[in-house]
Each structure stands twice: as structure tokens, then as C-alpha cells.
A and B are shown apart, each in its own frame.
Chain A
Amino acid sequence: MPSLGLFLSQLFNGLALGALLALVASGLTIIFGTLGFVNFAHGALFAFGAYAGFLTYQASGSFVLALVVGAAATGLLGLLLEWGLIRRYYDRPPEDQILVTFGVGIVIVESLRAVFGGLTRNVPLPSWGNGILNLHYFFYPVYRLQVLGIAALALFALYLLIYWTRIGLIVRAGIEDPLMVRMLGIRVPRILTLVFGIGALAAGFAGVVDSPIVSVAPDVGSRVLVESFVVVVIGGLGSFPGAIVGGLIAGEILSLTSMINPAYSDVALYGAMALVLFLLPRGLLGTEGRI
């Protein structure tokens, strides 16, 4: 029987991991909701952000700057990708949209490997993230709490963007009724580019935040990609609240089951996904009528 301290510390781990997954998954959801397709390059963008942040951190010594530059660089890459390639795919069948983003993901990851090599790079904790906190029942690393806070703040920023701005209004309308939005002529290319950029930015930002915990490697994003798929399947693709709820559930499943038997934690996550699919094919917060 695990102790209360271990339980609580795993609960916090789950929250931090879940918030991060929610952030990645909400980028996926925003892109899906507006552009109508799933970005299989999302994990690669996560890795790209991590490397951009790592370089900035090395050069400047400031983790905050690394966060800003890493996220911005990934966002910029997203804008370029949409402008140069993705927009040619809006009228193509969904399989082609999946295929091209999948291919782009491979090119990004392999480019990272070609430039930085395949070895993992350790990213030191920021100076303000060092240390361990005594939370009475258990000791807990400060940075993980900060991750929770940073991810929550970023999610809040996304929330403001989606629910309180004009772009957000279009994003939400697109999720609600993509055809109608197109009919109204709102799908101006500039907004689509911007939305893809914002989705990429969320992935890149998460990549930087996560880098001191997992260290950086070219394929660091592939696991994140799969897990964020599980998140959106559980939460309901296209739903922003669904991404958050799904992210937290996934994070908790991963960390709480690993307390019992780490060998089964990943399997439990996919088992949960299968269960949700079985009972609620559209996910917890997914809406009826969309595929």
C-alpha cells in the first residue's frame, strides 16, 4: 500500500504532466477546430520548441528568454509551414492532410537529428526552479509545481484568446459549424495561418517547459504526440475544455498507475482510451454530429 506522501506526490506529478499534455492537446484541438485536420507534426513542433529553447538557454542563461524564444520560433515555423505547404491541402482528402503533416514531422525531427545529433541533451533547471519543497506529507521538487503554474497560465492565456477575441470567436464558430463559417467567407487565409501558428506555438512552448524534466532529443515529441492523441480522443477532439479535462485525466492515469506498477502505466492510459471509445465514441466532451 503506497503511503499518503507518495500518493500525494504522484497526484501532483499527474497534475503537472496533465497540464502540459492539456497544453499540447489544446494546440492540436485549435488547429483541428479551425482548419479541420489533425496536425501529425505536432510532436515534431514540440521537439523543435525544446531545441530552440535549449539553444537560447545555453546562449543567454535565461530560462524565461528560452521560453519566449522557443515558443516564438515554433510559432513562426508554424506560420511558415501553413503559408508554404499546409494551405495547399485544405481541399484535399483528410488522409492526404494527415500524410503531409506526418511527413513534415519526419522532416523536422530528422533535420534536428542532422544538426544536433541523436544524443539527448540535459537541460539544467532554471535558477528559480531549483530546490525541493517540504509540503508536510511529502517533499516535492519546486520546478514541477512551477510547471503546473506555467502550464495553467498558458492555458488561461489560450482561454482568453479563444473566448474573448475576434480570432477566438472564429475558432469557436469553426468548431461549431465549419461549413457555415466558410460560407460566411470568414476563413480568410490570414486567420488560418495565424491559428496554425498559435497551435504550433502552444506545442513549442510546452516543449521548452518540459525540457528540464525529460531532457531533449530529436524524437522527444513522438511520445507527446501519441499521448496528446489519447487526450483528445478521451476529451473529445475540437473541444478546448475537452483537451484540458482529457489532459488531466491522462496525466493522472499515467502517474497514479505508475505508483502501483510502472510497467502498466502506459498500457493503462491506452486501456482508458479504449474504454472511453467503447462507451462514449465521441469522447467525454465531444459533440454529436462531427466525425
Chain B
Amino acid sequence: MKRSAGGRALMAEGIMAAVLLALPWLAPLLHVTADVLTRSLIWGLFGLGFDVLFGFTGLLSFGQAAFFGTGGFIAAWLLTSQTVSSVALALLIGTAAAGVYGLIVGYISLRRVGIYFAMITLAFGEMSFFLENSPLSALTGGENGLPGVPPPGIELFGRSYTVHSGWPMYAFIAVIFFVGYVIARRIIRSPYGMVLRAIRTNPRRTPAVGHDVERYKLSAFVLAAIYAGLAGGLLGLFQGYMPPDAFYLDTSGQLVLSTVIGGRGTLIGPLIGAFTWIDLREVLQQFPALGAAWKLVFGAIFVLIVTLFRRGIAGEIGALLDRRRRARSPLPEPAAPAQRHAAAAPVRARASTGPAILEVRNVAKRYGAFTAVEDISLEVREGELLAIIGPNGAGKSTLLNVLAGELKPSGGGIMFRGGDITHAGVIDVCHRGISKTYQINQLFPDFTVCENVEIAVLAHARGRFRADCFRSLDADGSRRARAEAILDKVGLLPFANHPTAEMSYGEKRRLEIAIALANEPRLLFMDEPLAGMSPVERAEAVQLIGALATERTVVLVEHDMDAVFRLADRIVVMQNGVKLAEGTPEQIRNDADVQQAYLGGVDGHEPA
């Protein structure tokens, strides 16, 4: 099983190498020129980085021309001004400069996400064009670009060759593209790459399991800039001329179009998409009346693909093959659903409570004039199960979000095991040993059940950020083993290889809990774990929560009073953002204020 997966892993590289080798013989039969292929490869290389950024990390940038142009013009300038005589050195400097520029632009534009990010990168792309076009025109040639870029030379067996245009140039670029492709595949298949995919799939949960999302995003942005810079440098070498349109908004747009048409998240998509328009342009230019129409055709294809085939050419073909493969060998149906949690008799023995693990002092959370949580102080003791109850809108979930570091408190302080975590933020809080399950499932729907847990295990094993781009995911079996152990705990092990989207609601709820267990939390927050469950699922989940609470401290927010009174060692009652009462289940049951709030109060009856 493992071998065949490993064999398949290198199959893509093998096919790519074979295709690149065969093209010089195949292309003439299809009336495709070497120049069309070479140009497509340059765009394909440009797109490898962009696909890592957009297809895998989910960041849609409209400013990639900035890095394409930067790398290209710096390499071209170094060569034409004869500052540097080595083509390789010029390419390297240009590429590095594009990376540095990417670091700066990324740092600023990643302050915002989604549509803002797209708009801001677009604006930075335009700014770069204007910089090239006027203030720096003495160096860059402004609208004329830089002519006279020398062809690259290669040293082979002590003799030097000049790479001429045509098929030699194709071979030169194809080798570089292939290396770039192999590197990009490795990156995607590394733990680092898995975190990038997680960010696209669920940008909220990824930091909550302990990954420093901002640094991952920035590094992906720099990576894309480096690929763009190298591709830009090659463009100058290929044409013998560095054109100013490398900086055009059109260039950024064309890259987006190519990637989406070819298939985002496939790495080869940009190459396929670029070949489509470059060849289309070449063909249509033979008819004078249609010369400019290629872009109209390409734009229309693009709208069609985005609307109906959003995976793009390579993506749709891949999905088709996947479906056939799965139809041929379906996933084994899990033998018997895990019933054993329901079998255990008592929910849990009352824990002997230790010292305070979490101290909350006068915590408040305000939104403008509205106060969601006001002046809450409480203590959670090591080993206990503390339940927080209260009517809807009492501020329970907000309090939990503040304690888990997802919201900044407006006032007060939080201490966890003697350390101040008031302003630590969710990533740090996670690494200190706190985690949280969400009221509404926060899963990674594109991943399998096991991968959902693995992504959290990765953070626990690797820390906030690690650029282990060249490690293979398959090399480390402990991640998988650890994830399976956790899945076993919640009874999902038989479903480990199933797609998350195919799980039932109750199973997804348990997966939600499994993810939160990956950092081996000493303190687990659970926000309404029973919400929306059927009675049978509920009974199972109550058993599970009881079992989990024997190994760690749990703070439970729940509306199911039956479950709360069975599980909790102590109960805190909240109403309108303040603490109404605190005590053992017996004390709470007999508290007049609580009875008033729940039964006779203005907030009405709370359904169990």
C-alpha cells in the first residue's frame, strides 16, 4: 500500500520528464513551434509559485507581475550593463531581489485577507509598473524595455556552448522548469505544504490548532515571488529583450486566467492554461481579422470554466480519474460502528480536584457600547469538569473565545498554570496546552478524517512555524500513528481514510473533538458539544466527554441540563454577561437566583 502510494508520488515527475523529452518530436506534428512551448514553460514556471500561493494556500494575488518584472529587469539590467557577466549569477540576483520585494509587499498586503488582499496586490502590481515606467526608466528603458540581453551560455565537459533560440532554448528552459516542478511538488507534499492546504481549507481552525498562519502565508507569498522572479529573468533571456509588459496588470491577470483554466491546485494547471492562450494567439494571428480576438476567446473560455468547471482542465481530468479509481476500489465499509463508549456504566467518577489550573480575573469583553462579558472571575481546578451554563446570549461562548485566545479581552487577566495568557493569542494558548471544540464544526472538509487530526498533530510536533518544505509527509509515520490513536479514542478509527464530507453529523462532531485532542491539552474547552445531536448520539457523546474528563481538565458550555448535571463537578451560571452563581450541581439545583433565571426570569425557559 505504502509502496504503491510512493510509486504514484513519483509518477507525476516521471510523466512530466517524459512529456518534456518527447515534445521536440511531437510538437512539429501538431504544428506547435519551439518558441510557443518555451514561452509556455516560462509561464508554467511563473505559475508554479502562483499555484502554491493561490491554488494551495488560497491567496488570490493580482500583483504577481511585480515580481515577474522585478526578477526580469534586474537580471536583464545586470547583463546588459555588463555589471555581471555570468547569466546564472544575474538570474540568481534577480530572483533573490524578487523574493525580497515579495517579502515587503507580502508583509503589507497580508494584513488583509480575501477581496482586500486581491485588491491590494493588484494595486502594488500597478505601483511597480509605474516605478519601472517613469522614476526608474533611466535603468529600465521605461516603455522601451531593455534590448540586447545576451543568450545564456553553458559549460559542458570543459567546453562552453551558447544556447541559441529554438529547440536549444527549449531544452535550457525545460530543464529549469523541471527542477522547479520537482521542487514545487516536494513543497506541496511536505508537512509545510500540508499546513498551506489547511489554511485554504479552514483559515480559522488552522491557527487554533497551533499553526502560525501569518508566517506560513508570508512564506508562501515569498515563494511565489521567487518563482516569478526566476521566470521573469528567463523571459529576458528567451526573448533577448526584457519587455516592460512584464510589469503590466495584464500579465498578472493572464497568470490568474492561465491557472484557473488549467486547474488551480494542480501545479501543472498554469502550464496547461498558458499553453492554451499562447498557442491560441499564435494560431489566430495567422488570420489578420482574428489577430486580436484570442483574448476575447480566452476570456469567454475563462468565464465558462469558472462558472461550470471550476477545477479547470487538469483538475476536472484528475477528479474524473479519482472517481473511476474509487468506483473500482471503494473504501471498505467500517465493520461495526464504535458502540463501546455507550457500554460503560457510570459516566465518570467525581475527580478529586487539585490546585487552580486556570485563573480568570475580572475579564470583560465589550463591543462598542455592548458588553458581552462583564467582570467575570472564576477558577478552574486541575482535573475537574467545570460546566458553564446560562440562557442564550449570556456570554458563555464569548467568554470561552476570550479564554482560548481567539478574542482579545477588553479588560482583566487570565493565568494558565502560573503563566499570563491574557494577550497570548490563540496560537500560543494552543501550544501552552489549551484547546477548544467549536459550537459549529470547524473541520477541514477537503481532507480525510485522519488528515483532519494530522494537521493538528503537525502543529504539536513542529511548533508554530517550520519551513520543512523538503521533508516528505510519508517519511514520518509517527504523525499518522498519533492521529490514529486519537481517532481510536473518539471511535472514528474505522473511518480514518474517509472523506470528511461524507461523514454523518454525529461523526463530524466527534471529529471536531478529536482535532482538539491533538495538542494533548491539559485544559479542554468544549462549546456545546451536544448541540444538534440525536438522543443516541447524545448518550454516546456524554460517555465520551466523561471519559475525556478523567484524563484532563474540561470546561464545558452546554444547554443540555441533564448532561451537565451528570457530568459536572462544579457549575458556573452566567446571565447577561455576569456570573450569577457558582457551586456544586446540588448547590446550583437549589439556588433561588438560578431557578428565577431559568424558570421565572425574563429570559424565559431554556429548552434542555
Contacts and interface: CB of A to CB of B under 8 A. Distances in A.
A278 interface: yes
Interface string B289-307: 0001101101110110011
Contacts of A229: 119-120, 122-123
Contacts of A110: 292-293, 295-296, 299
Interface stretch (B27-35, B109-117, B477-485, B489-497): B109-117
B522 interface: no
A181 interface: no
A219 B126 CA distance: 14
A71 interface: no
A270 B123 contact: yes
B271 interface: no
B130 A266 contact: yes
Interface residues of B, number: 41
B251 to A, nearest CB: 12
Nearest to A28: B119
A91 interface: no
A267 B135 contact: yes
B127 interface: yes
A232 B115 CA distance: 12
A99 B118 CA distance: 10
A46 interface: no
A291 B112 CA distance: 7
Contacts, number: 117
A182 interface: no
Interface residues of A, number: 42
Interface stretch (A101-109, A139-147, A183-191): A101-109
Nearest to A275: B108
A161 interface: no
Contacts of B296: 106-107, 110-111, 113-114
A274 interface: yes
Interface in B291-345: 292-293, 295-296, 298-300, 302-303, 306-307, 310
Interface string A247-291: 000000000000000111011011101100110010000000001
A194 interface: no
B230 to A, nearest CB: 25
A188 B589 CA distance: 48
Given A100-B306, A100-B307, A230-B123, A267 B292 contact: no
A273 B123 contact: yes
Given A274-B108, A278-B108, A103 B306 contact: yes
B104 to A, nearest CB: 9
A264 B127 CA distance: 10
A110 B113 CA distance: 30
B131 interface: yes
B134 interface: yes
A94 B115 contact: yes
A289 B172 CA distance: 50
A270 B299 contact: no
A233 B119 CA distance: 8
A106 B302 contact: yes
Contact of B119 (A85, A113, A232): A232
Interface in B354-402: none
Interface string B214-254: 00000000000000000000000000000000000100010
A98 interface: yes
B134 to A, nearest CB: 4
B256 interface: yes
A291 B116 contact: yes
Nearest to A118: B292
Interface in B43-83: 54, 58, 60
A222 interface: yes
A216 to B, nearest CB: 17
Contacts of B300: 107
B129 to A, nearest CB: 9
A247 B180 CA distance: 43
Contacts of B126: 226, 266, 270
Contacts of B249: 222, 226
14 contacts: A95-B58, A95-B60, A100-B303, A106-B298, A106-B299, A114-B292, A230-B123, A233-B123, A237-B119, A263-B137, A270-B124, A270-B127, A273-B120, A291-B112
Q: Top 5 nearest A-B pairs by Cβ distance?
A: A270-B127, A106-B299, A263-B134, A110-B296, A266-B130
